[in-house]
Structure 1
């Protein structure tokens, strides 16, 4: 079951205290409507009824999909270090079989959901994203500022990512062969056994894996 709380939030513009509904725990199976709001990027939207100020209010949230066996802990502007003091798998052996990730932004939360729902290994996805971003930079002459997984199509043998460039508000979709993902999966399975507890699987990890692979090659 999802966890709902209500607490007052002061408007940054007018100072009005607004009683605000929050979801520190989201169960995707029990409340699919909350899943949809996360993917539509509306769950964390906040509007001040007094002055109309609109903001995206991120707060710690544990997203759980029991059927697909994954949990994602959103810690805005934080990261895995805040969870290091807790041996999650030892303290809660009943979730030892679940893939657990920690993210620091709403965009990363959405991306992880899409990756796991597609049945993909997020470590391999990050490697493909890193490689494709390098290709895009060489071809277009501009380094992507951010990139996120978009889709995987087995029938068409394509995997796609959206990239954002400095000074350009619109995302650009770039794709490559799904074979690149399969090769990346072989690499991560060889170099990086999946971690216990809530792990950060991000571009920094992908770069570390790529560097290690090049050293050993």
Structure 2
């Protein structure tokens, strides 16, 4: 029995020595770094050998794939580091009647339009205005307008030629030359918005 107890104690000691020490056992140094989130500076605790991603998570900073972070999440922290976080804002763009949700780092509607590479024509209507500040849930609408010229063939009412016939009853009119429907071409200027006609004006009448 004493031999068995000795061997059990021997192997237990080996296991303890072979076990990897925890970060608490290593007494890793902890220092402060700066995190600037949306322009506001915060102080955060950073543990030596920790990554940027671990530090942000430990200090309660939440990020998404659409955000911009000045450092890679896998990068090791360096004493005195300043980490910058720019959060993307969810907005909806309705362009020509078709809506899509997106994220943006722009501050104004004008910057958003430029960021997404959207080209506006002179007569397109943008709401809200370009200087409107971006906020969560903002809906930006672009009403696409075009002016088209079209030609239509219209019927022209015929003119009746008639006369009183003395050989018939008094007051009875006899049509001496029946008319036929005429036709003429008319050019129209049509204003369309998102593919729908909203205004139609006569542009030119052709004989």
Length-normalised TM-score, structure 1: 0.22
If you compute each CA radius of gyration, which structure gives the higher value, 1 or 2? 2
Select the structure that is richer in strand.
2
Q: Which has the higher contact order (CA 8 A, sep 6+)?
A: 1
Length-normalised TM-score, structure 2: 0.23
